[in-house]
Amino acid sequence: MAGFQAYDKIKIIVVGDSGVGKTSLVHLMCHNEPNSNPGYTIGCSVEVKLHDYKAGTPSEKTYFTELWDIGGSSSHQNSRSIFYNNVNGIILVHDLTNRKSHQNLRKWLGEVLNKNDAKDFNNGYDFDPEQFAGNQIPILVVGTKADLAQTLREKVISRSSSIAEECGADEMNLDCNDCKCLSPGSTNAVKMSRFFDKVTERRFYSHQMSHNQGHLAPTERRRGHMKMFHND
């Protein structure tokens, strides 16, 4: 096919409770416009975005970024694990007006990281910081419905502990119905691009990183990973 170029690809899964805005977010990311009527996602839908790794530098290279938008309904919990194979990055989505959806991100992370475990989402899964310490999958935490949360600001700020802080992940809040929220050059667009860079780096360049860290003891090496989440 004329003009066709084969790109390397990365797989990012997008998880969070039903109705938090995952489909709206992915649509905004991939089409730069709001999705007026997303509808419930049954199973999973995949959108692709071309990402320019290290854009503007001599190392710039384009990658296919697959965004796997996973339906959040609890009735599909048993069949979701098939989507969690070979994941390179995780976007955890919560609704800023719904505190429970933030608390549940621990369970979502637990479910994704324990995909082969048969525990029940509502009873067994939970985020285990020790387990996460050795996890090298980059994570981005996105809070949606910032437009509606304006009036609920105190509630949002008084959140006792943030999962993003606990796992050293990047975090952003936005309104999925406003295309300015991810417009090129905006703070959120830059954060998103850095996250994709980080995922690409872990997927395709991690042998260089492990070589650089080869002299560290295991615990120090884990700390090194946590630190990189903060500094990138």
Ligand X SMILES: Nc1nc2c(ncn2[C@@H]2O[C@H](COP(=O)(O)OP(=O)(O)OP(=O)(O)O)[C@@H](O)[C@H]2O)c(=O)[nH]1
Q: For ligand X, which is the closer residue by CB, 21 or 168?
A: 21
Per-residue tokens: 38 = 């997303």
Q: What is the C-alpha to C-alpha distance for residues 82 and 116, in angstroms, rounded to an integer?
A: 9
Q: For ligand X, which is the closer residue by CB, 10 or 20?
A: 20
Instruction: For residue 20, state whether it binds ligand X (rule: CB under 6 A).
Output: yes
Q: Give the ranges where 160-217 is alpha helix by DSSP (H).
A: 163-167, 187-212
Q: For ligand X, which is the closer residue by CB, 23 or 104?
A: 23
| Nearest approach, Cβ of residue 14 and ligand X (Å) | 8
CA neighbor of 200 nearest in space, from 86, 16, 70, 65? 65
Instruction: For residue 145, state whether it binds ligand X (rule: CB under 6 A).
Output: yes
The answer to whether the CB of 67 falls within 8 A of the CB of 12 is yes
| Nearest approach, Cβ of residue 113 and ligand X (Å) | 20
Instruction: For residue 72, state whether it binds ligand X (rule: CB under 6 A).
Output: yes
Instruction: For residue 19, state whether it binds ligand X (rule: CB under 6 A).
Output: yes
Q: Quick one: which of 71, 89, 138, 168 contacts ligand X (CB under 6 A)?
A: 71
Q: What DSSP state is assigned to residue 17?
A: S
Give the up-direction half-sphere exposure of residue 76: CA atoms within 13 A in the CB hemisphere: 17
Binding residues vs Mg ion (CB under 5 A): 22-23, 41
